[in-house]
Amino acid sequence: MLPEIKYNPEVQILWNYLRATFAITAVVPLYYEGVIAGSEFLTYAATKLYMFLQLTGMSDAVVANIPRFRLYNAANALFQNIGFTSTYWDATAAGNRNIAISFDNKNGYFSRFTAEGYTNMTFIGYRITRT
C-alpha cells in the first residue's frame, strides 16, 4: 500500500498526478545533502523517479559556461533547465566567467538530472519505484 503524502495543496496535486500517471510500486522518503558527483540522481533508470519537496543546488565554482541543472522526465527527455549565475569579466583569461548562484526549487519530479557548474546539492523528497 502506498503512503498518503499530505503537505500543502501543491504537493498534493503533484502526488496525485504522479499516482495517476505512473504505476507506482514503492515510495521511500529520501534526504540527501552532499556532492553531486557520484550521487544516485545522475543515472537514469526506467523504474525510478524522484519527487522533491526541496531541491537546492550549491557551488562556489567559477566556470566558463553558464552553470545549470537539467532535469529529465520519466521518458528521460529534458524538460527543465535551472540556472542562476553571476557573470564577470576575467581579464587574466580574457573572457567572461560565471559563478553559480545557489537556487532552491520546490515541488517537482525528475528521473535524473545533469549538473554543470554546481558541485553540491540538497534533496528532500521521495524515491519512487514504478513499473
Sign of CA dihedral 124, 34, 70, 68: positive
- The reported pLDDT for the residue numbered 87 is 66
Q: Decide if 61 contacts 107 (C-beta within 8 A).
A: no
Task: Look at residue 82 in the predicted model and tell me its pLDDT.
Answer: 81
Mean predicted confidence (pLDDT) in 58-71: 76
Split at pLDDT 50, 70, 90, the class of 72 is very high
CA distance 83 to 74: 21
Backbone angles phi, psi at 107, to 5 degrees: 55, 85
